[in-house]
Amino acid sequence: MLVPHTRARKSSSRLPADTHQIVNLTRTLDDSYPIVFGSGLFENIARDMREPTPNATKPLASQFAIITDTNVGPIYAPALQAKLSQAGLKSAVFYIPAGEENKTIEACVAVMREMAVDGFGRDSAILALGGGLVGDMAGFTAAVYSRGIPYVQIPTTLLAQSDSSVGGKTGVDLGDVKNLVGAFKQPTVVYIDIQTLSTLSAEDFRSGLAETIKHGIIRDAEFFAFIEGNIDGVIARDPNCLFEVVKGNCRIKGSVVEIDPEEQNLRKILNYGHTAGHAIEALSGFSMPHGYAVSIGMMVAGRISVALGYLPEGYLTRQKALLLRAGLPVQIPPSISNEDIVALTLKDKKAREGRAMYVLPKRIGEMVVFGESYATYVDKAVVLEALERTR
């Protein structure tokens, strides 16, 4: 008889001794890791990779698989590889085709095949060089390749530097369901190099700003006010503003993830704007950037919160004004119907009995707590009304 070990341990005294055995795997886990902020960091990265990691006597790996995509790779991978080589480290570059439509298990398998052919084994580590797509896919590859090898995040989009590179969620899409296959796998270290943001398109930069504004709303009124006061400098990518933005984002995301690494409750607040946002993104055929969809999704969730009496209207006005100044959309495109959005949100794994799950703001910097939970099911009629007002 197979007995799950936690249950077996609790009831073992009631089981006859000759019917089972316990494989005792109680462990204390320390998944802590540093986030390093800087500008022009590749040399530091190479130097660090040569040194023993904290609490270890040897370097992270003896060879490094730089996983990147076909847009960002040509810009930055040669420079990173050159620095690694100058530091006496072996590396090879593996390309994923750019674009969310390539966030598939097949693309990960293709990279893993190439890594195997190139002799990458358990003594290797992955360097994830790119946006959220690369970070999620390279992290997932690290979680399963050779039953798990270390990985380092070198995020190059504002979204990845502010959000996806921190927290250890990795994975790929399956069909039209985002991130259905994945693993929690924390990086060994994250290097946030704001210089890489200089080549990012205006659209991708704005997309990352949506998550930045989201962070202010869900947890930090002061950070929100900083963005309000410095939005022009942020958009001009002034280095001082960028440092404040990435540091603030990582502080907020890190503080949430530390309390709730596996999204039991508090981490759900990071999904603000994502219930309707994900649906709108998918219904645009993924032609709409993620952050744009989240921006519209935050307007929908904000309106739901106003309608249910949780959020005073003035805060919604402030949210909308900042999203507009950041160049983000705040209205649902006419080509996407309310009914389709609702139908898709109900397909989500978190939906129950015809109601989708939302996290709702109470004011700038604080989310509503429903009993003990940060998320609540919202009736379809309330959602439809909010969608209609977001046009």
Ligand X SMILES: NC(=O)c1ccc[n+]([C@@H]2O[C@H](COP(=O)([O-])OP(=O)(O)OC[C@H]3O[C@@H](n4cnc5c(N)ncnc54)[C@H](O)[C@@H]3O)[C@@H](O)[C@H]2O)c1
Q: Which residue ranges make up the site for ligand X (CB under 6 A)?
A: 69, 71-72, 75, 98, 100, 103, 130-134, 136, 156-157, 159-160, 163-164, 167, 169, 178-179, 196, 199-200, 204, 207, 290
Q: For ligand X, give the closer residue by CB, 212 or 338.
A: 212
Smallest gap, in angstroms, from Cβ of residue 36 to ligand X? Answer: 17
* Residue 290 bears catalytic tag: yes
Smallest gap, in angstroms, from Cβ of residue 25 to ligand X? Answer: 27
User: Please, are residues 83 and 45 in contact by the beta-carbon 8 Å criterion?
Assistant: yes
Residue identified by tokens 């296959």 is 181
* Residue 58 bears catalytic tag: no
Phi, psi torsion values for 253, nearest 5 degrees: -60, -45
Q: For ligand X, give the closer residue by CB, 160 or 360.
A: 160
Residue identified by tokens 């939970």 is 373
User: Please, are residues 217 and 224 in contact by the beta-carbon 8 Å criterion?
Assistant: yes
User: Please, are residues 118 and 92 in contact by the beta-carbon 8 Å criterion?
Assistant: yes
Catalytic residue among 103, 214, 267, 268: 267
Smallest gap, in angstroms, from Cβ of residue 322 to ligand X? Answer: 19
How many Å from the N-terminal Cα to the C-terminal Cα in the chain? Answer: 58
Catalytic residue among 83, 103, 215, 253: 253
> Which residues are 258's β-sheet partners?
none
Smallest gap, in angstroms, from Cβ of residue 314 to ligand X? Answer: 29
Q: For ligand X, give the closer residue by CB, 132 or 273.
A: 132
> Which residues are 190's β-sheet partners?
35, 153
Catalytic residue among 83, 206, 211, 303: 211
How many angstroms separate the CA atoms of 242 and 196, rounded? Answer: 11
* Residue 267 bears catalytic tag: yes
Q: For ligand X, give the closer residue by CB, 163 or 220.
A: 163
Q: For ligand X, give the closer residue by CB, 186 or 338.
A: 186
* Residue 268 bears catalytic tag: no
Residue 252 buriedness (CB in 10 A; 0-12 / 13-18 / 19+)? buried
Nearest alpha carbon to residue 246 among 377, 128, 334, 155: 155
State which amino acid sits at residue 222: E
Smallest gap, in angstroms, from Cβ of residue 208 to ligand X? Answer: 7
How many angstroms separate the CA atoms of 56 and 321, rounded? Answer: 49
* Residue 271 bears catalytic tag: yes
* Residue 211 bears catalytic tag: yes
Smallest gap, in angstroms, from Cβ of residue 168 to ligand X? Answer: 8
Catalytic residue among 206, 215, 219, 278: 278
Residue 330 in tokens: 């705040």
Catalytic residue among 100, 263, 366, 385: 263
Catalytic residue among 206, 274, 303, 320: 274
How many angstroms separate the CA atoms of 234 and 223, rounded? Answer: 13
Smallest gap, in angstroms, from Cβ of residue 188 to ligand X? Answer: 16
> Which residues are 153's β-sheet partners?
128, 190
* Residue 247 bears catalytic tag: no
User: Please, are residues 20 and 1 in contact by the beta-carbon 8 Å criterion?
Assistant: yes
Q: For ligand X, give the closer residue by CB, 211 or 316.
A: 211
How many angstroms separate the CA atoms of 152 and 33, rounded? Answer: 10
* Residue 278 bears catalytic tag: yes
Smallest gap, in angstroms, from Cβ of residue 40 to ligand X? Answer: 13
Catalytic residue among 290, 303, 320, 338: 290
Q: For ligand X, give the closer residue by CB, 196 or 390.
A: 196
> ∠327-328-332 over CA atoms, to 5°?
140
Catalytic residue among 102, 249, 271, 338: 271
| Range 63-77 burial, b when 16+ CB lie within 10 A, else e | bbbbbbbebbbeebb
Q: What 3-state class would DSSP assign to 309?
A: coil
User: Please, are residues 151 and 102 in contact by the beta-carbon 8 Å criterion?
Assistant: no
Residue identified by tokens 């298990």 is 105
Q: For ligand X, give the closer residue by CB, 126 or 316.
A: 126
Q: Which residues are catalytic?
A: 147, 169, 211, 253, 263, 267, 271, 274, 278, 290
